[in-house]
Amino acid sequence: MLTKRKIQTTLFLTIAILILVNVLSSRYFFRIDLTEDQRYSLSDATKSILEKLDEPVTVTSYFSEDLPPDIEKVRQDFKDMLIEYSNRSNGQVVYEFINPNEDQEKEMQAQQNGISPIMINVRDKDQMKQQKAYLGALLQMGDKKEPIPFIQPGAAMEYALSSAIKKLSAKERPVIGLLQGSGEPSMSSFQQLMQQLSVMYEVKPITLTDTTNVPIEVKTLAVIAPSDSMIQRDFNYLDEFLSRGGRLLLAINAVKGNFQTAQGELVNTGFSNWLSKYGVTIEDNFLIDANCSSVMVQQNQGGFRMNIPIQFPYLPIISTFTDHPITKGLEAVMMPFASSLTIAPKDTSISYVTLATSSKKSSLETLPLFFNIEKKWGASDFGMSEIPVAVAMEGNFVNNTLSKMVVFSDGDFAVNGEGQQAQQLQPDNVSLMTNSIDWLSDDTGLIELRTKGITSRPLDAQLEDGTKSLVKYGNFLFPIVLIVLFGIIRFQYKKKIRNVIKQTDYV
């Protein structure tokens, strides 16, 4: 029988337990991560960066409030991550949240700190309207500042935060050399690539001369899309660079397409011969793929000249990637006028990983070659499959010195171009190049975070509507039915226990 004292004691204990749980949760934050890609767990790279902090990092988070649930979740996820960062760094990461929409002064402060507003659609009283929202942060360490202008829902949140902290805390940034002088695109032709690399590295143009080798401070040298032949002196410099442990990225065009003459042309750089001694050859051919991009062609439609997209197999879309830090999270990269790679290892001390291949419907064409835009491509034109276009190499290249190299059989996939000819590239094109430089240059493991985000996993489009509805409502109703069944079973079990007690004679 419940007495007044028992009720008071139970109430007191309940309140005490709630207070204790509240205190502990404010001091010790933890959560169980059951996601397949461990998106809510800090990586070893992040833990290493946080444990080495010797100065406090202040994170001023500018997040609007009263946003739609899917966007409001970004704010909560970012806050949870900051709590974990603070705990892991022993309080070296300090944070606060400010709502810029509260007043004009806070909004101006956010914009002055590099946080750009975005416009989102919000439903208000059964009407859709646009609302200005802020989803960004400013990190400060001493006098140094690093903004995160926009945290996109589903994006690699941990990479943005960890790389910004590393940039602030690093005493000096690794130097990436971009080779110039052999017809390569200038640094201004890589707008998107430079924007990503500038977070972690200092990028310098490197020109080789009779008296100038690759500077000693250069950790990784990138050779992207040279159009002229390199002389033997420069290849000797590259061998010397590898012999001291330098890292090398090669994105080389063996062929190119000329749309003005509608034909393919050979690009003789000399790299294929030099690479052959390391077991890799860039062939003088054109890769064609049924999975490809399109070109715009003018055609007559109803008496009008209209631009019509025509699939062009010489612009293959590469979507077959090996499970490797360089390609993790990538979905599709367009490689215009790529060639095939032949990988024939000549030294057991060097390991080779084929990073990317063409689709199962692809083939090769050799010079001389004339493009026929109006050609109707069929299955018989694509009799080959999974042709290599990228390889990562690691081992003892020269004088038993450990080094790394990445080779692409296309040099244009990460080039924006200059001036009015510049084009916006797909994010995966830039990420593939940046990931490669990260793998070559950064030994902390941050590369694995760049593409760590929330992956959409929709139902197979080929499923019938009835099957889709069954899966949809099954996912919604199954947990409810499970709870109801548990309640019924528990009720019946308790009822059975009560009946047994009633029927028991204690005399």
Write the CATH number for 109. Answer: 3.40.30.10
Does the pLDDT at position 332 exceed 70? yes
% of residues, the chain, pLDDT over 70: 87
**Taking phi first (over 0 means left), then psi (-120 to 50 degrees means alpha), and beta for anything else, what does residue 270 get?**
left
Q: Do the domain assignments include residue 472?
A: yes
User: Rounded CA gap, 194 and 218, in Å?
Assistant: 16
Asked which of 151, 168, 185 is the last residue of a domain, the reply is: 168
Same domain as 317, residue 210? yes
Burial of 500 (0-12, 13-18, 19+ CB in 10 A): exposed
Q: Do the domain assignments include residue 1?
A: no
Q: Do the domain assignments include residue 453?
A: no
Q: HEC states along 372-392?
A: CCCCCCCHHHCCECCCEEEEE
Give the model confidence (pLDDT) of 47-69 as tens digits.
888 988 989 999 999 999 888 88
Q: Phi/psi of residue 181, each to 5°?
A: 110, -5
Same domain as 223, residue 145? no
User: Rounded CA gap, 73 and 79, in Å?
Assistant: 10
Question: For residues 414 and 193, is the Cβ–Cβ distance under 8 A?
Answer: yes
Same domain as 290, residue 356? yes
Does the pLDDT at position 457 exceed 60? no
Same domain as 179, residue 96? no
DSSP string, 63-75: E-SS--HHHHHHH
**In 371-385, which positions are buried (b, 16+ CB within 10 angstroms) versus exposed (e)?**
beeeeeeeeeebebe
Q: What is the pLDDT of residue 474?
A: 77
Q: What is the pLDDT of residue 243?
A: 94
E strand or H helix that includes residue 320: strand 320-321
Q: What is the pLDDT of residue 43?
A: 79
Same domain as 406, residue 272? yes
Which residues is 406 bridged to in the sheet? 249, 392
The whole-number average pLDDT for the span 5-18 is: 76
Q: What is the pLDDT of residue 453?
A: 54
Give the model confidence (pLDDT) of 180-227 as tens digits.
999 999 999 999 999 889 878 899 999 999 998 999 999 999 999 999
- Of 138, 43, 158, the C-alpha closest to 96 is 138
Does the pLDDT at position 9 exceed 80? no
% of residues, the chain, pLDDT over 90: 51
Same domain as 203, residue 111? no
Peptide bond into 149 cis (omega under 30): no
Question: For residues 349 and 377, is the Cβ–Cβ distance under 8 A?
Answer: no
Same domain as 244, residue 368? yes
**Taking phi first (over 0 means left), then psi (-120 to 50 degrees means alpha), and beta for anything else, what does residue 397 get?**
alpha
User: Rounded CA gap, 476 and 18, in Å?
Assistant: 31
Instruction: Tell me how far the alpha carbon of residue 499 is from its chain's centroid.
Output: 62
- Of 353, 348, 314, 349, the C-alpha closest to 334 is 314
Q: Do the domain assignments include residue 447?
A: no
Give the model confidence (pLDDT) of 267-285 as tens digits.
999 999 999 999 999 999 9
What total of structural domains would you count in the chain?
3
DSSP 84: H
- Give the pLDDT band of residue 159 (cuts 50, 70, 90): confident
The whole-number average pLDDT for the span 468-473 is: 72
Question: For residues 377 and 151, is the Cβ–Cβ distance under 8 A?
Answer: no
Same domain as 71, residue 45? yes
Same domain as 111, residue 96? yes
Q: Which of 13-27, 285-299, 351-365, 389-403 has the lowest mean pLDDT?
A: 13-27
User: Rounded CA gap, 317 and 311, in Å?
Assistant: 11
User: Rounded CA gap, 23 and 139, in Å?
Assistant: 28
Same domain as 395, residue 268? yes
User: Rounded CA gap, 114 and 126, in Å?
Assistant: 34
Same domain as 212, residue 269? yes
Q: What is the pLDDT of residue 27?
A: 55
Question: For residues 267 and 255, is the Cβ–Cβ distance under 8 A?
Answer: yes
- Give the pLDDT band of residue 34 (cuts 50, 70, 90): very low
User: Rounded CA gap, 169 and 141, in Å?
Assistant: 8
User: Rounded CA gap, 223 and 267, in Å?
Assistant: 15
User: Rounded CA gap, 219 and 403, in Å?
Assistant: 10
User: Rounded CA gap, 222 and 176, in Å?
Assistant: 7
Question: For residues 78 and 61, is the Cβ–Cβ distance under 8 A?
Answer: yes
What's the N-to-C CA distance of the chain in angstroms? 20
Q: What is the pLDDT of residue 488?
A: 86
Instruction: Tell me how far the alpha carbon of residue 158 is from its chain's centroid.
Output: 11
Q: Do the domain assignments include residue 20?
A: no
Q: Which token pair is 200? A: 């972690």
Burial of 481 (0-12, 13-18, 19+ CB in 10 A): exposed
Q: Which of 79-83, 140-144, 164-168, 494-498 has the lowest mean pLDDT?
A: 494-498
**Number of residues that make up the chain:** 507
Q: Do the domain assignments include residue 186?
A: yes
Asked which of 122, 145, 168 is the last residue of a domain, the reply is: 168
Question: For residues 296 and 307, is the Cβ–Cβ distance under 8 A?
Answer: yes
Give the model confidence (pLDDT) of 364-406 as tens digits.
999 999 998 888 899 999 999 999 999 999 999 988 889 999 9
Q: What is the pLDDT of residue 25?
A: 58
Q: Do the domain assignments include residue 448?
A: no
Residue 409 belongs to domain with CATH number? 3.40.50
The whole-number average pLDDT for the span 305-328 is: 90
Does the pLDDT at position 465 exceed 80? no
Question: For residues 235 and 270, is the Cβ–Cβ distance under 8 A?
Answer: yes
Q: What is the pLDDT of residue 30?
A: 54
| Amino acid letter for position 315 | L
Same domain as 329, residue 269? yes
Q: What is the pLDDT of residue 450?
A: 61
Q: What is the pLDDT of residue 454?
A: 46
Asked which of 168, 184, 213 is the last residue of a domain, the reply is: 168
Q: Do the domain assignments include residue 405?
A: yes
Q: Which token pair is 461? A: 């489009």
Q: What is the DSSP pairing of strand 218-224 with strand 202-207?
A: unpaired
Which domain does 118 fall in, by range? 31-168
Task: Look over the chain and give the mean of its residue pLDDT values, rounded to a whole number.
Answer: 86
**Taking phi first (over 0 means left), then psi (-120 to 50 degrees means alpha), and beta for anything else, what does residue 290 get?**
alpha
